[in-house]
Amino acid sequence: MNNLISRRLNYHHLRYFRAVAREGNLTRAAEALHVSQSAVSVQIRKLEDALGHDLFDRRGRGLELTPAGRTVLDYADSIFGLGDELISVLGEEGAARRVLRVGVLATLSRNFQIAFLGPVLNRDDIALQIRSGSVREMVAHLEAHRLDVVLTNFLPPRDDDSTWLPHTIDEQPVSLIGRPTDRPERSLEELLAEEPVVAPTVESGIRTRFDAFAARNGVEPRIVAEVDDMAMLRLVARAHEGISVLPPIVVHDELENGSLVELARVPGLVESFYAITAPRHTPDELLVALVRTAENARHE
């Protein structure tokens, strides 16, 4: 009985741990908690002693969660989230707004982002926080529980320590897009051989597969511009007199109003879109619903 009592969870220690896990740094956590750095260190050591596990690994000036630390943070988020919900339910202001923290690849199609987040954009009970960056950066924030989901069109390499889970939520064809003109009808190969081409940069998965397609068909496109950002590629496609290689979803509005036209689909070339989540001991019902809605729309 005494051993059981000595290992009861101290929620004060847990709150300090959660602050450090979110900040990734003792100094910033101490500032957020309005206490000294040494006080934070003491509380973390006491929690580690009580749980019998190291919760952080030091990486330079920062701290990274150990596997045990990630598990503790998952539970801590649930524990304090339920506490906030309890206060809100019993308080005068009604139910609290759920914060959904979304990371997106900086170059990802804005139309795709809006399509995925559409079901929650107008909900009064949900506050969206959207931040962009590289996939590696966003996944690191996800695994540190600073994000709830990451949207991307390619997956980073996984290693033995990776905990994230990829969900394929959409696949879009890739086409040759151009402004409406009096072009004579030509085959896809003729268009690529005769028109100036704007394409994604060589780092893009689309570009890699497009180059392979051109090589298989003996075509040498005259690429006059390379763009790594889908929003910029959309603008270039609108201004460019030749053709652009991109998924039609990127220029959905322009295709609808006729300012751009789809000249040809590139056979076998698709762009995949992913939602990356982190495992939780209890499912996040909001994320499950968003992913399921996107997957269902993909198969319609």
pLDDT recorded at residue 2: 38
pLDDT recorded at residue 196: 94
User: Domains plus CATH for the chain?
Assistant: 2-74 (1.10.10.10), 95-166+274-292 (3.40.190.10), 171-272 (3.40.190.10)
pLDDT recorded at residue 160: 75
Q: How far is CA 240 from CA 175, 201, 213, in A?
A: 15, 17, 23
Task: Walk across the sheet containing 149-152 and list its strands.
Answer: 126-133, 98-105, 149-152, 261-277, 165-178, 243-246, 196-200, 222-227
- Residue written as tokens 């004579």? 184
pLDDT recorded at residue 282: 67
Q: What mean pLDDT comes out for the span 266-275?
A: 90
Q: How confident is the model at residue 271 (pLDDT cuts 50, 70, 90)?
A: confident
Q: How far apart are CA 135 and CA 142, in angstroms?
A: 10
Q: What is the pTM of this model?
A: 0.62
pLDDT recorded at residue 12: 85
For the stretch 107-132, pLDDT in tens is 788 888 888 998 998 888 888 889 99
pLDDT recorded at residue 300: 61
For the stretch 132-157, pLDDT in tens is 988 888 998 888 777 889 999 888 88
pLDDT recorded at residue 1: 33
Residue 163 burial (CB count, 10 A): 16
Q: According to the per-residue pLDDT averaged within each range, which of 6-10, 120-124, 209-213 is highest?
A: 209-213
Q: How confident is the model at residue 84 (pLDDT cuts 50, 70, 90)?
A: low
Q: How far apart are CA 19 and CA 10, in angstroms?
A: 15
pLDDT of 89 > 60? The answer is no
Smallest CA-to-CA distance from 176 within 250, 65, 97 is with 250
pLDDT recorded at residue 4: 38
For the stretch 34-43, pLDDT in tens is 898 898 899 9
Residue partners of 129: CB distance under 8 A and separation at least 6: 99, 100, 101, 102
Reduced to 3 states (helix: H, G, I; strand: E, B; else coil), residue 115 is helix
Q: What mean pLDDT comes out for the span 99-109?
A: 86
Residue partners of 153: CB distance under 8 A and separation at least 6: 105, 108, 109, 112, 205, 271, 272, 273, 274
Residue 76 burial (CB count, 10 A): 21
Q: Are strands 126-133 and 149-152 parallel, antiparallel or unpaired?
A: unpaired
